[in-house]
Structure 1
Amino acid sequence: MQRITYRVKGSAQGAKRRISHLLRPSKRLLNTKSNIVSSTPTASGRFARTKKLAQVSSIALLSLPAQSLTTMNTKVSAYANVMLQNTLTIAAVPGDSTYFATDGFQHGFGFDLVRTYADELGVDINLKAYANEEAALKALRSGDADMALTTASTKLKSQLNLSSVNVSCGYDSSLTKNGLHPKVSWTFSSPNDPLSKKASYFLCDSIKLKNTQKLAAFYNQNLLKDAYSQDHFQKTLTEKLPDYQSSFEEQARNYNHDWELLVAMGYQESHLDANAVSPTGVRGLMMLTNNTAKAMGVSDRVDPYQSIGGGARYLEQMKAEFADVPKTDRVWFALAAYNMGPNAVKSIQRKLRAQGIDDKSWANVYAYLADNKASNSRYGQAMHYVSNIRSYLESIKTQTV
């Protein structure tokens, strides 16, 4: 079984431990730069872990309907283990509707939803990638994961005696109209486990369901589905990119960016046309305004190397403006700020904070843009700008066109 493991938020925990491991003496290795220190827990330490497990299990029991208490067996719930380990371990299959992870970029429709759920639980994520749905689901069944993120068929999940919750909570059209798989689901070992029940309440809450539908719009997969768009994109990359690739790569190194991200930005801005000019006066491959060009040290906006360098430097500044945003979302904040200015994005963040909403989540910022685009055209432009670049970047990296 081929498996690649990705860690989110620096989680140091491994696969889920069996309860028996908590009740007997064990050794834990602590890795430092050059030394490995072995320590054996004291009896009081083991007692503290066991006590914590009992407390978490009690919380899990209280979260269940009263009638289910009589049918509970003695097996520790997945929810209790997640809370004890402070880590939600996900078995996932890469895909355009689940998650995307290449060259330091880790995001995706299903992945962003899982991150939001983990944040609500107050735990980290340990993402394990599997080659196919069956392998991921078997990992869940064997206890190597707490839940699975897949597009597996109902038949396969039934054969493995697993239960699942569709992330759209039955509103499949909200996914299909955005080119996403209609059956993206979270799968669990038991429908009675609090982890599964809480997930169902989480996904089907009316407010969160609306946000899920907006997130689906951000991860729209239809941008390059029609023949004209595909042909134009491929022709541009084939005929124009070779002339500028070395400049993209060098300027990306200069400003610590992924060079293909800069290419995606260049395609969005000008379709890699170094002589492009807009009616508003922005010019060049990265379509810099005259003021931005001067601030970035660009003397000739139609010089490809200077234009790419100016765009790369400005993007670096935008990333620095949002250094407190988790890395997974920071690039989207930076791109939105690149398009509409950092103060506009920070204004949205302040409004979200005032409502008690996490202002460092791109999903929440995007939802705000979607809700208010009718009253502010800049919001709609920023939405399309960031989602288009995301789509181009994924296409370049996965070579789907």
Structure 2
Amino acid sequence: MHSNSTSGSRLKLDSFFSTLPLKALVLASAFIPFHSINATKVNQYNSVVNSNKLTVVAVSMPTIVFKDGQYKHGFGYDLAHSYAQNLNVQLDFKTVADNATALKMIAQGKANFAITTASTERIEAKKLTSFSATCGDLNSLKKNGLNTEINWVFKHADDPLTEAASGFVCQSKQNGSIQQLASFYNRNFLKKDDWNIIQRDLSSRLPIYKASFQRSAQQYGLDWHLLAAIGYQESYLKPNSVSPTGVRGLMMLTHATAREMGVSNRTDPSQSIQGGAKYFNQMLNRYNYIHTPDRHWYALVAYNMGPGAVDAIQKRIKAQGKDPNDWMNLYNYLTRHQTRNGRYKQALQYVTRIRAYLEHIKNTPDLMTI
């Protein structure tokens, strides 16, 4: 086997860098002696650091990214965003329709790396290098209904940027981040029969309230699809819904919250949607120091549990020496303590379902054209 083959490089990268601490990986990559590698390859890493921008091109598909304008999330997107944070640079995330376009952009130097599902043979034919986006942890993807063929593709195997990326991914596997991220984007938690009911409900009810969702979303600079997803989770888009605890209406507002949001009649769908949008916007503003999309998940947990509960959890996470503003840390905390606290379990289901409803609405042509 030639020393510059893709598969050989992938094995060396995954096995060597998975044994190093994450901080050491980045430092080691930054201080590789200049004479030991081609100068143009050093510039690939340096250009990212010096420009403060990591450009990633990705194939638009459920396992990688969901997008609507500037709103993006997904397993592939979140992992790339974490890598950009690790490098302390901004992420410039572009999407394309197919693997061929993504590979061409890497070959032409138009992006720093690509997230694709292209085969090893196809990547090698382009004289590019790749490694698994999960450092070989295919089971975490498979059991959560995600595509196991997802990979990161670079122009040069021995570029410090490639080496640091491989180390980051393998460290993410070791510390459980890959498993947590795959669990959050689980596509199997609802069965086909459930989706049939959801599709029927949305097809019949969403047209009635679409204008209200769009009007309120525009007022507060929100994504109306997300507001609709919240409404469906709260009440199945039924304006007369009432819970045993006294919350009511399409957006299931408490009496106190409705009063604060200026809602005089909680069962009036237009008022309820406007009040829900205003309250969710307040939650987003409360966590404006957290990057998107994490900020949206924090705001949703706060919408469900109350911001005081989220603040208390953040303090506990910080006391553990972890970043309280990283969604995976909050998600992991809720997961680990859900058996002892029913509110945590409810919050997990709440956010996960809304995320799934949002993706369903955006990826169902019949709903998008309602």
* Structure 2 equivalent of residue 392 of structure 1: 357
Q: Tell me the TM-score normalized by structure 2.
A: 0.84
Retained in 1: the 8 A contact 2:173–2:179?
no
Aligned pairs (5 A) from 1:45-60: 60=29
Distance 1:286 1:358 in 2: 31
1:97 matched to 2:63? The reply is: yes
State the Cα deviation string for residues 118-171 of structure 1 (Å, max 9, x = none).
Answer: 111111122222221111112112211111111222221122222222122112
Summarize the Cα distance change of 1:250–1:130 in structure 2 as closer, same or farther, 3 Å threshold: closer
Larger helix proportion, structure 1 or 2? 2
Distance 1:108 1:124 in 2: 17
Of residues 117, 123, 128 in structure 1, which corresponds to 2:94?
128
Of residues 319, 322, 325 in structure 2, which corresponds to 1:354?
319
Distance 2:86 2:220 in 1: 35
Distance 1:289 1:175 in 2: 38
* Structure 2 equivalent of residue 328 of structure 1: 293
Distance 1:252 1:152 in 2: 38
1:393 maps to amino acid:
L
Distance 2:57 2:219 in 1: 37
* Structure 2 equivalent of residue 378 of structure 1: 343
* Structure 2 equivalent of residue 200 of structure 1: 166
Distance 1:260 1:232 in 2: 18
* Structure 2 equivalent of residue 290 of structure 1: 255
* Structure 2 equivalent of residue 110 of structure 1: 76
Unpaired stretches in structure 1, ≥5 consecutive residues: 1-57
State the Cα deviation string for residues 362-391 of structure 1 (Å, max 9, x = none).
Answer: 233222222332332222221221121111
Aligned pairs (5 A) from 1:173-322: 173-205=139-171, 209-223=175-189, 226-322=191-287
Distance 2:186 2:158 in 1: 33
* Structure 1 equivalent of residue 309 of structure 2: 344
How many percent of aligned residue pairs carry the same amino acid? 44
Distance 1:284 1:111 in 2: 35
| Rg (Cα) greater in structure | 1
Of residues 105, 118, 134 in structure 2, which corresponds to 1:168?
134
Shift of 1:337: 0.4
Q: Tell me the TM-score normalized by structure 1.
A: 0.78
Q: What secondary structure sits across from 1:76 in the alignment?
A: helix
Across the aligned residues of Structure 1 and Structure 2, the Cα RMSD in angstroms comes to 2.4
* Structure 2 equivalent of residue 62 of structure 1: 31
Shift of 1:76: 3.1
Summarize the Cα distance change of 1:330–1:61 in structure 2 as closer, same or farther, 3 Å threshold: closer
* Structure 2 equivalent of residue 24 of structure 1: none
Summarize the Cα distance change of 1:392–1:86 in structure 2 as closer, same or farther, 3 Å threshold: same
Q: What secondary structure sits across from 1:111 in the alignment?
A: helix
Summarize the Cα distance change of 1:128–1:294 in structure 2 as closer, same or farther, 3 Å threshold: closer
Of residues 124, 137, 140 in structure 1, which corresponds to 2:106?
140
Distance 1:126 1:257 in 2: 21
Which structure ranks higher in relative contact order (CA pairs < 8 Å, sequence separation ≥ 6)?
Answer: 2
Shift of 1:278: 2.3
State the Cα deviation string for residues 187-226 of structure 1 (Å, max 9, x = none).
Answer: 11222222222122211126655112111111122355x3
Summarize the Cα distance change of 1:152–1:289 in structure 2 as closer, same or farther, 3 Å threshold: same
Query: Aligned residues, how many?
Result: 339
State the Cα deviation string for residues 303-331 of structure 1 (Å, max 9, x = none).
Answer: 21222122112112211211222243322
Distance 1:388 1:400 in 2: 20
